[in-house]
Copies of this chain bind each other. A is one copy, B any other.
């Protein structure tokens, strides 16, 4: 016994409406015999008559009428499914899980979220803020869709899309404002406050100072850039923060910021996602939104 097909249900509905094989067939854009055969097959599959063919007119049986009601519901649901897909085509819709590292999130996310919810109202945005290795792991596990991190990540299963580069700046107490800006190497001899281990920004800073990343430290690590700047304001030492953090973090502390000379330290921020994701194009759009968000900071 054959299976029910949507085609049969569509033909059935047409015939139920027109009550005439020829006209129903025309409405389905097929020949009358094709319709006859399909209806007959449907009736056989069901094991019940749906129509009563009398010489002058075609009528639904009482079962056929009950059947028609259900069929209408199903066909409507299928059409809606189709529309649903078509409306989601290319555009990003539904759940979207975005990871961000802690040295970016507080500064970039407000703008990103604003732009994104405006440009993609149907988006169900989830944000995860944690360190790069964990983001990468969750990305590979499929628990995240994309992440905003410092490049490179060098994970073969991921695509990296560079968004922008930004310099790092030196943060010193106000009192040091007139002193010359030290070079990277010289920072090693100053009390340089750093983020805790695990933050990529810590490693980038140490690299700039030509210091081994595993150098033993004396308990001066902060858990956030905000903390570091507060510590600088308190005269405990100096620190380095990315440019995007300057406005937010140094507004209220009595510290001053200075650019480095010649070899300016910098990082490249980018978005990453699984190579295998079929939503690459949509993600690239989001990447562009993020890039614009940075520009408008």
Minimum distance in angstroms from A188 CB to a CB of chain B: 43
- Return the contact of A145 from the options B62, B73, B78 (Cβ within 8 A): B62
Q: Which residues of B contact A88 (CB under 8 A)?
A: 48, 63, 66
Q: Which of A201-209, A239-247, A262-270, A274-282 contacts B (4 or more CB under 8 A)?
A: A274-282
Give the complex CA separation of A199 and B84 in angstroms. 61
B74, B80, B90: which contacts A81 (Cβ < 8 A)?
Answer: B74
Q: Does A6 contact B (CB under 8 A)?
A: yes
Q: Is A34 an interface residue (CB 8 A)?
A: no
Complex Cα distance, B93 from A61, in Å, reads 11
Q: Is the CB of B5 within 8 A of A89?
A: no
Interface check A189, CB cutoff 8 A: no
A276 to B49, CA, bound (A): 11
Chain A contact residues (Cβ within 8 angstroms of B): what range?
A: 35 or more
Residues on the B chain within 8 Å of A46, using CB: 82, 85-86, 89
CB distance from A225 to the nearest CB of B (A): 32
- Does A96 sit at the interface, judged by CB under 8 A? yes
Q: List residues 71-121 of chain A with CB under 8 A from any CB of chain B.
A: 71, 73-74, 77-78, 80-82, 84-86, 88-90, 93-96
Q: Quick check: A276 and B4 within 8 Å, CB to CB?
A: no
Total copies of the chain: 2
Asked whether A260 is an interface residue with its Cβ less than 8 Å from the other chain, the reply is: no
| Residues in A1-28 with C-beta less than 8 Å from chain B | 3-7
Q: Nearest Cβ in chain B — how far from A214, in angstroms? A: 33
Complex Cα distance A62/B46, Å?
A: 36
Query: What per-residue 1/0 map shows which CB atoms of A18-49 lie under 8 Å from chain B?
Result: 00000000000000000000000001001111
Give the docked Cα–Cα distance between A52 and B157 (Å).
13
Distance in angstroms between the alpha carbons of A59 and B61 in the assembled complex: 45
Q: Which residues of B contact A52 (CB under 8 A)?
A: 142, 274, 276-278
- Residues of chain B with a CB closer than 8 A to A71's CB: 81
A 179-211 contacts with B by CB, 8 A: none
| Minimum CB–CB distance for A41 against chain B, Å | 13
B96 close to A61 (CB less than 8 A): no
Closest to A280 in B: B49
Contacts A47-B90, A54-B276, A89-B47 given; does A74 touch B78 at CB 8 Å: yes
Residues of A within 8 A of B (CB): 3-7, 43, 46-49, 51-55, 57, 59, 61-63, 65-67, 70-71, 73-74, 77-78, 80-82, 84-86, 88-90, 93-96, 142, 145, 157, 274, 276-279
Excluding A63-B88, A70-B80, 18 further A-B contacts by CB distance (< 8 Å) are: A5-B6, A6-B6, A43-B278, A48-B85, A48-B89, A48-B90, A52-B278, A53-B276, A57-B142, A62-B93, A63-B93, A65-B94, A66-B88, A66-B94, A67-B81, A70-B81, A70-B84, A77-B77
